[in-house]
Structure 1
Amino acid sequence: MVTSVQQPVSTLSLKEWAVAVKALGEGKQIITVRKGGLYEETREFKLEHDTFYLYPTYEHQKPEMVKPAYHADLESTLEGWSPDKPTVEIRYFAHITDDVEIMDEAKLRALDPYHIWTEDFADVRLHWKKKKPLHILFARVYKLEQPFEIQIEDQYKGCKSWHHLLPAVPQTGFAPVLSDADYAAKRDEIMAILK
């Protein structure tokens, strides 16, 4: 699965728990699950663009929603962070290769080895707004050679999935977190479960 991805010119970013951004950024998982933020205009998740920055959030991370094997990763994301920290660092962007919608609890359970979240977390996402499907996003993640810090503006706060970063984003070099072959193998394995 060879891709010719470019760093996003758009400043669009997806908010995700910092521990999930870390897992995606280290190739520990290639999927993320979404149903929508509490304050989305349509109250449901919509993939606005297939390539975007990953904006790590810290304040709502809950250890009980992350598998014990990843608690050390969660703790490491909190080192040097405080609720009044005025900036956030953007290290990665993602290119979504697939957006698969599911409503099947058995399929969600079968995905358990492929993500950092507990069954409780996955269940909450699946059962919230029961008539709406859960989006399984396959994210090919790229690490920026030069991460950048931005001020945390009021627009970035709250339970919304998407927002545009206010400052212009510097265009730098980047590299895929996983090789084409590794990403394709993981994608094929997970996709076989979802068929």
Structure 2
Amino acid sequence: MACQLALKEWNVVCEAIACGQQIVLARKGGIAEPEGEFELPKNRFWLYPTHFHEAESKLNLLGQKLLEDHPEFTQPPASPEVTMHLVCEVAEAIYLEDEAKLDASLFEQILNREALHARYHYRAPGIHLLVVRAYEVSHVQTITPTEAMSGCKSWVELPQPLESGELRPVVAESDFEVRKNLLLSALRA
């Protein structure tokens, strides 16, 4: 499968997804996006690890443990190259306007409660939650970012479609379905 779209996300969040600890992404929108709002242009994308805006104080205990296990995530990269090894598929996209239901997503991500609620309130109340199924690729890709990929934006168009090769699910299908359905039922209750 070839894909040209990538979603920028903190290194530590990419690691949480790669370990199967996280299946939901909470997105608000970057200042470089139209009207500052998050949009979902496609349901499948590469996960593009970044240090941009990364902060230990915004992570729960699992996230802090991942940072402790991966001190390289706290340092600026030695090389400008970005290595991508995960492709995600959006299983469900929800725009959540009811803040009371937001905490249900805490069990499926590594942001702490304060950071998640701060994102919810950034600019105007509401947040996009993407339930993602992650896949390890057999063809790891390394790119050199262009100027167009820099800055505070969620999505980057890669210079060309990148081939992923075979995809191996990070979380078994039956486990993913149980976790997804529990989360969705809590969010829609």
TM-score (norm 2): 0.91
Whether the aligned pair in 2 keeps the contact of 1:140 and 1:183 (CA below 8 Å) is yes
Q: Quick one: which amino acid aligns to residue 182 of structure 1? A: D
What is residue 53 of structure 1 aligned with on the other side?
A: 46
Give deviations 1:5-37, integer Å, cap 9, x for gaps.
xx3x33100111111111112111110111101
Partner SS state of residue 189, structure 1? helix
The farther-off stretch of 104-113 and 163-172 is: 163-172
Aligned partner of 2:34 among 29, 41, 60: 41
Q: CA deviation at 1:122?
A: 0.4
TM-score (norm 1): 0.88
What is residue 127 of structure 1 aligned with on the other side?
A: 121
The farther-off stretch of 118-127 and 167-176 is: 167-176
Q: Partners in 2 of 1:163 and 1:192 — Cα distance?
A: 32
What is residue 62 of structure 2 aligned with on the other side?
A: 69
Structure 2: gaps (5+ residues): none
Q: Are 2:147 and 1:154 equivalent residues in the alignment?
A: yes
Partner SS state of residue 60, structure 1? coil
Aligned partner of 1:25 among 18, 28, 35: 18
Q: CA RMSD in A?
A: 1.7
Give deviations 1:87-116, integer Å, cap 9, x for gaps.
011010100011011122211123222211
Partner SS state of residue 159, structure 2? coil
Q: Which 4+ runs in 1 deviate beyond 6 A?
A: none
Whether the aligned pair in 2 keeps the contact of 1:18 and 1:77 (CA below 8 Å) is no
Please state which structure has a larger fraction of its residues in helix.
2
Aligned partner of 2:98 among 104, 125, 130: 104
Structure 1: gaps (5+ residues): 1-6
Give deviations 1:106-153, integer Å, cap 9, x for gaps.
11123222211111210121001215x311101011101231211122
Partner SS state of residue 166, structure 1? strand
Q: Partners in 1 of 2:156 and 2:92 — Cα distance?
A: 21
What is residue 132 of structure 2 aligned with on the other side?
A: 139
> Sequence identity of aligned pairs in percent?
29
